[in-house]
């Protein structure tokens, strides 16, 4: 019997679930940015969190693989990797989007697993909460809980999204326990009628288990409490344009100094190279021939036309007006020998915005107005206002669709090709220099543009995100993109560049014999003896002969 027929028999009207059949399921959920669509047997959309337990029970009884998704927008990494041994069923949690204001004064908010950045933003506005959404570049429709469970990050002051999680509840897949909700020991200990202590104190009591639900396949999180960053009294973004390539090392030292000595005032800092800036600010000059990379001449022409530097440092200063003013002054002084600094609250930018908005819309004015609008969107992101400013990037080599930010963008639905290489790198000028050289040598071998961003969250360790953008319509380019990522990961590891997060294909290459993954496997056995929940997700399979390692 097909799994959907078996499932139809199990759910009652009261369960209020929606089942989606194979063809539609594959069409709507199976598209990725790095493969042909993944075949899905069925999707279950639920409306009540209690149904999670029932679905897990059914997965154990009927023996199907179950993959939960929050908003299914894990573009460039993939939300699931299906196996062929059993039916593959997606559990869509997107309708569980309740938002509860746990404590307005403290900025604690409890979210269902489907809450999007936009929904949280609207909640904060409607209820006059002076707090910021922990936004990412994935746009207003992307989830908050799912991103935290991937241990994603952003550039608002609470940049590490799982770090900001103070409590969560979940269902584990064990056949005998799956219908009971997991919560921390503090929650059950507390006999008062509030759950305040549990929701405000991250570490709970006894072993810290909440973290096991991140980058794993050990449970389905049904709600999460996060601590939001307060809106600052005053804010300014800064832009340091570095026009001399040889100033790179000095720039890195400056960023390190700022993050070390001004933590709490200066948020994370982004450092982008010229090609990456071109990919953000202009259209691909070779858009209609996706096999061609930008030539040095094209890069120079675009850069001089748009006054793009070799490196751009973008960061944010939060505080009261006096603190921001003093920090700006300090930054300007320290950056003096490197390049020119521009601040978002400067009269120059305000005047330009005012001026160009009022001019007749001839081509050159339209272009500058668009650039100023993108600048404003970047500033909005730093202030916790979600938008689509980063989303055109995956369309860079898509010859068929031009991204229009006035519509909702979906790189997977629009068949854009994207994989991320996201390694952590020691924050020294020489390591970063080696990294830049490594990327520029490696990616062109595979026909991939070397686009580099460093996101500096702390002064000791940098996270780089290198987007591997390609044409998904061309099978050879898909293969090259995966081969490129593979070389970056394997070779990069030898230099000490180690990914903080992996796409679903690379997760298959993790060394199952390593003690860390052996330990993970033991935990998996205990939580999920039938291995029904997202098999293989950050959980390399131990024995090749017995791929799902089922217990007798």
Check residue 78 and give left, alpha or beta (phi > 0: left; psi -120 to 50: alpha).
Answer: left
- Choose one: 82-90, 131-139, 198-206, 516-524; the region binding ligand FAD (CB under 6 A): 131-139
Among 150, 198, 449, 463, binds ligand FAD (CB under 6 A): 150
Residue 302 or 390 having the CB closest to ligand FAD: 390
Residues 494-523 vs ligand FAD: string with x where CB under 6 A? Answer: ------------------------------
Residue 252 or 390 having the CB closest to ligand FAD: 390
Segment (H or E) for 110: strand 108-111
If binding is defined by CB under 6 A, does position 69 make contact with ligand FAD?
A: yes
Q: Cα dihedral angle (427, 428, 430, 434), rounded to 10 degrees?
A: 0
Report d(CA 161, CA 146) in Å as an integer. Answer: 10
Q: Interaction with ligand FAD in 240-279: which residues (CB under 6 A)?
A: none
CA separation, residue 52 to residues 21, 84, 180, 181, 224 (Å):
19, 23, 10, 9, 15
Q: Interaction with ligand FAD in 388-427: which residues (CB under 6 A)?
A: 390-391, 393-394, 411, 418
If binding is defined by CB under 6 A, does position 145 make contact with ligand FAD?
A: yes
Among 68, 87, 140, 499, binds ligand FAD (CB under 6 A): 68
Residue 327 or 463 having the CB closest to ligand FAD: 463
Q: Interaction with ligand FAD in 81-120: which residues (CB under 6 A)?
A: 93, 113
Q: Interaction with ligand FAD in 151-170: which residues (CB under 6 A)?
A: 152-154
Nearest distance from C-beta of residue 112 to ligand FAD, angstroms = 9
Residue 69 or 308 having the CB closest to ligand FAD: 69
Residue 324 or 375 having the CB closest to ligand FAD: 375
| Helix runs in 247-343, H state only | 248-261, 274-281, 296-306, 321-335
Nearest distance from C-beta of residue 56 to ligand FAD, angstroms = 11
If binding is defined by CB under 6 A, does position 221 make contact with ligand FAD?
A: yes
If binding is defined by CB under 6 A, does position 73 make contact with ligand FAD?
A: yes
Distance of CA 42 to the CA centre of its chain: 26
Residue 273: partners with Cβ closer than 8 Å, 6 or more residues away: 310, 311, 436, 450, 451, 452, 453
- Choose one: 17-25, 75-83, 398-406, 481-489; the region binding ligand FAD (CB under 6 A): 75-83
Residue 4 or 390 having the CB closest to ligand FAD: 390
In this structure, the strands spanning 461-470 and 423-426 are antiparallel
Residue 107 or 113 having the CB closest to ligand FAD: 113
If binding is defined by CB under 6 A, does position 66 make contact with ligand FAD?
A: no
Residue 17 or 324 having the CB closest to ligand FAD: 17
Q: Strand, coil or helix: what is 257?
A: helix
Report d(CA 198, CA 493) in Å as an integer. Answer: 39
If binding is defined by CB under 6 A, does position 137 make contact with ligand FAD?
A: yes
Nearest distance from C-beta of residue 380 to ligand FAD, angstroms = 14
Report d(CA 37, CA 507) in Å as an integer. Answer: 19
If binding is defined by CB under 6 A, does position 344 make contact with ligand FAD?
A: no
Q: Closest by alpha carbon to 52, among 17, 9, 83?
A: 17
Residue 52 or 313 having the CB closest to ligand FAD: 52
Check residue 27 and give left, alpha or beta (phi > 0: left; psi -120 to 50: alpha).
Answer: alpha
In this structure, the strands spanning 18-21 and 42-45 are antiparallel
If binding is defined by CB under 6 A, does position 134 make contact with ligand FAD?
A: no
Among 53, 76, 87, 492, binds ligand FAD (CB under 6 A): 76
Nearest distance from C-beta of residue 210 to ligand FAD, angstroms = 12
Extended beta strands in 189-300, E state:
220-227, 229-230, 234-242, 269-273
Report d(CA 261, CA 74) in Å as an integer. Answer: 34
In this structure, the strands spanning 42-45 and 88-92 are parallel
Among 147, 184, 410, 507, binds ligand FAD (CB under 6 A): 147
Distance of CA 185 to the CA centre of its chain: 30
Nearest distance from C-beta of residue 169 to ligand FAD, angstroms = 10
> Minimal CB distance to ligand FAD: which residue?
152
Q: In the block, which residue shows the tokens 């780089």? A: 464
CA separation, residue 485 to residues 106, 314, 446 (Å):
42, 27, 10
Q: Contact positions toward ligand FAD, by CB under 6 A?
A: 67-76, 79-80, 93, 113, 136-138, 142-143, 145-147, 149-150, 152-154, 220-221, 390-391, 393-394, 411, 418, 534, 537
């Amino acid at each position: 019997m097909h799994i959907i027929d078996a499932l139809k028999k199990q759910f009652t009207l009261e369960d209020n679930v929606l089942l989606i059949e194979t063809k539609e399921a594959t069409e709507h959920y199976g598209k990725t940015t790095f493969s042909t669509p993944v075949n899905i047997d069925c999707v279950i959309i639920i409306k009540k969190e209690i149904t999670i337990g029932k679905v897990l029970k059914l997965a154990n009884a009927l023996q199907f693989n179950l993959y939960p998704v929050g908003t299914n927008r894990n573009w460039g990494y993939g939300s699931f990797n299906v196996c062929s041994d059993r039916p593959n069923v997606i559990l869509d949690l997107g309708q569980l989007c309740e938002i509860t204001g746990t404590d307005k004064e403290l900025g604690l908010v409890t979210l269902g697993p489907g809450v999007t950045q936009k929904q949280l933003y609207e909640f904060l506005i409607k209820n006059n909460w002076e707090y910021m959404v922990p936004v990412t570049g994935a746009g207003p429709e992307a989830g908050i809980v799912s991103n935290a469970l991937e241990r994603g990050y952003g550039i608002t002051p609470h940049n590490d999204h799982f770090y900001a999680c103070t409590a969560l509840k979940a269902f584990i897949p064990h056949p005998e326990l799956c219908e009971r909700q997991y919560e921390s020991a503090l929650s059950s200990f507390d006999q008062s009628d509030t759950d305040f202590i549990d929701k405000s104190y991250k570490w709970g009591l006894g072993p810290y288990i909440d973290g096991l639900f991140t980058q794993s396949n050990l449970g389905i999180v049904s709600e999460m409490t996060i601590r939001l960053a307060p809106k600052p009294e005053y804010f300014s973004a800064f832009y340091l344009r570095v026009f001399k390539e040889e100033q790179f090392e000095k720039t890195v030292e400056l960023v390190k100094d700022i993050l070390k000595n001004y933590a709490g005032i200066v948020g994370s800092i982004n450092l982008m190279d010229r090609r990456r800036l071109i990919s953000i600010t202009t259209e691909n000059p070779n858009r209609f021939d996706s096999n061609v990379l930008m030539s040095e001449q094209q890069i120079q022409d675009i850069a001089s036309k748009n006054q793009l530097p070799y490196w751009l440092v973008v960061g944010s200063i939060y505080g009261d007006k006096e603190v921001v003013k003093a920090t700006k002054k300090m930054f300007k002084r320290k950056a003096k020998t490197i390049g020119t600094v521009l601040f978002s609250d400067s009269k120059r930018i305000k005047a330009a915005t005012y001026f160009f908005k009022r001019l007749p819309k001839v081509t050159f004015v339209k272009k500058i107005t668009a650039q100023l609008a993108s600048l404003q969107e970047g500033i909005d992101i730093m202030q916790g206002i979600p938008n689509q400013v980063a989303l055109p990037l995956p369309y860079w080599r898509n010859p068929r669709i031009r991204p229009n930010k006035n519509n909702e963008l979906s790189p997977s639905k629009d068949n854009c090709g994207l994989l991320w290489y996201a390694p952590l790198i020691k924050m020294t000028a020489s390591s970063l220099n080696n990294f830049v050289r490594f990327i520029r040598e490696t990616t062109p071998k595979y026909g991939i543009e070397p686009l580099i961003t460093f996101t500096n969250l702390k002064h000791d360790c940098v996270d780089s995100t290198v987007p591997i953008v390609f044409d998904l319509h061309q099978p050879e380019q898909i293969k090259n993109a995966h081969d490129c990522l593979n070389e970056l990961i394997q070779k990069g590891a030898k230099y000490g560049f180690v990914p903080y997060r992996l796409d679903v294909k690379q997760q298959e290459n993790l060394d199952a014999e390593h003690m860390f993954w052996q330990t993970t496997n033991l935990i998996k056995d205990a939580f999920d003896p039938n291995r029904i929940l997202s098999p293989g997700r950050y959980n390399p399979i131990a024995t090749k002969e017995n791929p799902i390692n089922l217990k007798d």
